[in-house]
Amino acid sequence: MVGAARSNTAAWLRRVAHPRAWPVRWRIAAVSSGLTLAILMVFGGTIGQIATTRIRDDFNSEIRGAVEVLSSELKVITPLVGKPELVGPNLGTYVLPDDASVRVFDRSGEIVGDQNGGRLGKPEHRGTREENGMRVETEVLSDPETGVITGYVQYGRSTEHVDDTIDRIWLLIGAGILGGTLLACLAGVAIASRAMRPIAALTASAKEITETRDTSRHMPDPPVEDEVGELAETLEQMLRSLDAARSEREVALQQQREFVADASHELRTPLTSVLANLELLQASLGGADQAEDREVVDSALRSSRRMSRLVSDLLLLARADAGRLATHRRCDLAEIAGDAAAEAAPLMGARHFAIDNDRPLRVEGSADELHRMVLNLLDNAARHTPEGATIELRLAEQGDYAVVEVADDGPGIPAAMRTQIFD
């Protein structure tokens, strides 16, 4: 069982490794799911890229708008004596999200206002930069009358929540792609199985016809007139043609068998007449001066008897082929074998003929055919056994079987002929 399981596993692995060996429904499902995967990847990648760009642009626009508002409402006043002062609304009103930070510097770079600005750094230049996980926008503060730069304002927000949102979007897109591919694969298998159902029915019918060899059976009717229906109709026409050809052949063979049987039967009458005349002629040639004529008659008689046996064999085979064998009935095989032995006794000559047949053996069969079988075996032993040899006829019962055994101490059957002796 382990060896069979390993063999089945190896066969399955070879099939999986070679897609051309897959069933049609698997190949259709693989193609449909592959196309769906490619389409979803292109579509999902495009949508994901557009969404990512849009989210980042909106985030950057929010930061840029916030820093522009701050630069328009805040002012840094630098007195001649003392520290610079920040004039404007409270910075806390601009830092509503927890991830937002604001810092205001004077023109020398000193901090004059701060709200969660520990990660913003120095205002090295005007513009946008990303550092410490934050998006930072720097804008110049200037005197609206003179245009002189009075300081700088920095506004920054963490990019963590933007990155998390983008990651979730890509995760959803990936899950959608995998889910869509799986659904496409399942749908492909279901559709292919439904489409292949008529072909499976045709295959099953063809297998049954192959096993039974009954070409008179019909293929299942196609549900619709499509390619499968055309295939079913073609197979049906082929079966009808084969059935017609087989019927014609059976009729011709039956006629041939009946002819051979009738011809063999008709040949027995003239052969019987020839044998009777030859035997009468043989009996009338008893004088010494008729020795030469007697030898010719003996030769003709032997040939006629051999021909009679051949015609009898031909008649038996022809009747078997034509279905004319005798009906079987209960009979005593021991009695039949005894009669055949009595008939074969004159053929034994100087050979020792031993018979072991001491009890009845009731069997179901044709008495004439069983008699002929035993007689043929004994005749064969007599013809192929030298003078002085021993020929034994033994009958025995082994379970539900009756055994007839003819044995001799002759040269035996050549090894090359042992597989053909009962043909």
pLDDT digits (tens, 9 = 90+) for 267-285: 767 777 777 777 777 777 7
pLDDT tens digit sequence for 286-312? 666 677 777 887 788 788 878 877 777
pLDDT confidence bin for 124, thresholds 50/70/90: low
Give the span between the Cα atoms of 210 and 204, in whole angstroms: 10
**Is residue 156 a contact partner of residue 137, using CB atoms and an 8 Å limit?**
yes
Query: Tell me, what's the pLDDT at 294?
Result: 77
Separation between Cα atoms, residue 47 and residue 348, nearest integer Å: 105
pLDDT at 4: 52
Tokens of 363: 């069997």
Cα–Cα nearest to 173, from 35, 33, 34, 37? 37
155 burial level (CB within 10 Å; 0-12, 13-18, 19+): buried
Q: Is residue 351 classed as helix, strand or coil in its secondary structure?
A: coil
Picking from 2, 80, 386, the residue whose alpha carbon sits closest to that of residue 10 is 2
The DSSP call for residue 82 is: S
pLDDT tens profile 131-175:
777 788 888 888 777 778 778 888 888 888 888 999 999 999 999
Return the DSSP state at 226.
S
- The alpha carbons of the chain give a radius of gyration, in whole angstroms, of 55
What whole-number distance in Å separates Cα of residue 122 and Cα of residue 110?
9
Burial of 26 (0-12, 13-18, 19+ CB in 10 A): middle
Query: In the beta sheet, which residues pair with residue 390?
Result: 352
- Bridge partners, residue 393, by sequence: 355, 406
Model confidence band, residue 254 (pLDDT cutoffs 50, 70, 90): confident
DSSP H or E stretch at residue 250: helix 227-284
Q: Please provide the DSSP assignment of 275-318 as one string.
A: HHHHHHHHHH--SGGGHHHHHHHHHHHHHHHHHHHHHHHHHHHH
* Per-range mean pLDDT, top range of 9-18, 169-178, 309-318: 169-178
The reported pLDDT for the residue numbered 1 is: 47
Q: What is the mean pLDDT of residues 181-193?
A: 84
Residue 322's φ and ψ, nearest 5 degrees, are -85, 0
Give residue 30's pLDDT.
82
Pairwise CA distance, residues 405 & 119, whole Å: 112
The model's pLDDT over 325-346, given as tens digits with 9 standing for 90+, comes to 566 788 888 888 888 888 888 7
Which is it for the CA torsion 380, 385, 387, 392, positive or negative?
negative
Is residue 97 a contact partner of residue 66, using CB atoms and an 8 Å limit?
no
Cβ neighbours around 126 below 10 Å, total: 11
Q: Phi first, then psi: what are they for 355, rounded to 5°? A: -125, 125
Closest CA to 194 of 221, 174, 151, 223: 223
Predicted pLDDT of residue 97: 61
Q: Quick one: how far is CA 58 from the chain centroid?
A: 58
CA 77 to chain centre: 89
- Angle at CA of residue 192, ends 190 and 198, nearest 5°: 110
